[in-house]
Structure 1
Amino acid sequence: MALRNALMAALLRGEASGYDLAKEFDAAVANFWMATPQQLYRELERMEADGLITARVVEQERRPNKRVFRLTEAGLEAVRAYVAELPGKPTAIRDELMVKVQCADVGDLEAVRAAVTERMEWAAAKLAHYERLRARLLDGRTEDEFFAEAERIGPYLTLLRGMSFERENLQWGEMALRRLRQRAAAH
């Protein structure tokens, strides 16, 4: 998946500045796509040059003017074409923590446990963030009401996937810590 597809998906909500898109990526898209603000701005420039988005300048009184972007009809067609394509192979996990865990038997078990604990803390913080986003999206509605009434359900579905992923990270971490403690006690 290209960054441009993720950006076009974010622009389906409507017009947004680069700053807004960076915040959106951090808040709602980070559970399935990571990008730095610099990467976002470079890709926005390329998308504008390719006619997928347009930009306009919004004058602000106490801040610098900002550019806001929106999808063009060509951009919407590109989104439709992208959605119609079969997805590629599932993402392969590349995780340095897993390499450290793989080496736990010949390394410092305490260092590995500390790394797992740190990852669990990170997962718990992300999960708490996602829970706040979920509450904001539901806005007092039940999930069934949301699915029946919401204009767009894709962002909610991806949020649920991100929440599931972080819950699994926590569950795996608890199991790994228990097994690492058992291993340390046995040696």
Structure 2
Amino acid sequence: MSLRNAVLAALLEGESSGYDLSKGFDASVANFWMATPQQLYRELDRMAADGLIQYRTVEQERRPNKRLYSLTDAGYQALHDFTAKRPKPPAIREELLVKVQALDSGDIQAVRNSVAERLEWARAKVARYERLRDCLLDGHTEEDHLAHAERIGPFLTLMRGIMFEEENIRWAERTLSIIDQRTHIRA
């Protein structure tokens, strides 16, 4: 998947400035696609040149003018074409797992610290994603939201992000427990 498709999907929420899109990117697609603001702005320029998005310039007092981006018919069509294609199988390429693989020949404490850090990141992400879920639900039940919301895609991807990080928490806790048991046995 390309950043282009993630931006198209994010723009389904409506017209957005590059700055707001970058901020909103964290709330809407960051649980499955990461991009720096620089990457995002470069992609917005390419997408506008390709006719997938359009923008209007809004003049602001005491601030630089801003562009508000929105999807064109070609952008909607590109997103439709993308969703019609079968996705490629996911591939895990994670440096931490290589370190854990080499644990027995490496710096056990450094690897343990890395796993503990990953555990804290995952916990923080779950907390952030749960706050986003609460905002998205806006006091409604999950069932009511899924039955009546205009768009359910953002909620479904958020659920996946929560489940993914919850599994990371379970794995990290179990891994730390095993490392601690093995380190205690060796001592």
- Normalising by the smaller structure, the TM-score range is over 0.9
Deviation of the 1:91 alpha carbon: 2.1
Aligned to 1:135: 134
Is 1:24 matched with 2:16?
A: no
Deviation of the 1:65 alpha carbon: 1.1
Aligned to 2:170: 171
Alignment of 1:1-187 (within 5 A): 1-88=1-88, 90-187=89-186
Give the partner amino acid of 2:49.
Answer: A
Q: Tell me the TM-score normalised to structure 1 length.
A: 0.97
Deviation of the 1:93 alpha carbon: 1.0
Q: In structure 2, how many angstroms separate the alpha carbons of the residues matched to 1:31 and 1:8?
A: 16
CA RMSD of aligned residues (A): 0.9
Q: In structure 2, how many angstroms separate the alpha carbons of the residues matched to 1:46 and 1:113?
A: 43
Deviation of the 1:21 alpha carbon: 1.2
| Secondary structure of residue in 1 paired with 2:13 | coil
- 1:143-166 per-residue CA deviation (whole Å, 9 max, x = no partner) reads 011011110000110000000010
Deviation of the 1:2 alpha carbon: 1.0
Q: In structure 2, how many angstroms separate the alpha carbons of the residues matched to 1:126 and 1:62?
A: 36
- 1:53-80 per-residue CA deviation (whole Å, 9 max, x = no partner) reads 1011111123211101000011111111
- 1:105-149 per-residue CA deviation (whole Å, 9 max, x = no partner) reads 112221111110000001111110000000000000000110111
Comparing 1-10 with 100-109, greater Cα deviation is found at: 100-109
| Secondary structure of residue in 2 paired with 1:64 | coil
| Secondary structure of residue in 1 paired with 2:32 | coil
Deviation of the 1:28 alpha carbon: 2.1
Q: In structure 1, how many angstroms separate the alpha carbons of the residues matched to 2:103 and 2:83?
A: 42
Q: In structure 2, how many angstroms separate the alpha carbons of the residues matched to 1:122 and 1:128?
A: 10
Q: In structure 2, how many angstroms separate the alpha carbons of the residues matched to 1:62 and 1:160?
A: 40
Give the partner amino acid of 1:106.
Answer: S
Q: In structure 1, how many angstroms separate the alpha carbons of the residues matched to 2:120 and 2:20?
A: 27
Q: Tell me the TM-score normalised to structure 2 length.
A: 0.97
Q: In structure 2, how many angstroms separate the alpha carbons of the residues matched to 1:63 and 1:95?
A: 41
Comparing 39-48 with 20-29, greater Cα deviation is found at: 20-29
Give the partner amino acid of 2:171.
Answer: W
Give the partner amino acid of 1:98.
Answer: L
Q: Structure 1: 5+ residue runs without aligned partners?
A: none
- 1:80-116 per-residue CA deviation (whole Å, 9 max, x = no partner) reads 111111112x221111111111111112221111110
- 1:2-32 per-residue CA deviation (whole Å, 9 max, x = no partner) reads 1110000000111001111111222221111
Q: In structure 2, how many angstroms separate the alpha carbons of the residues matched to 1:5 and 1:54?
A: 15
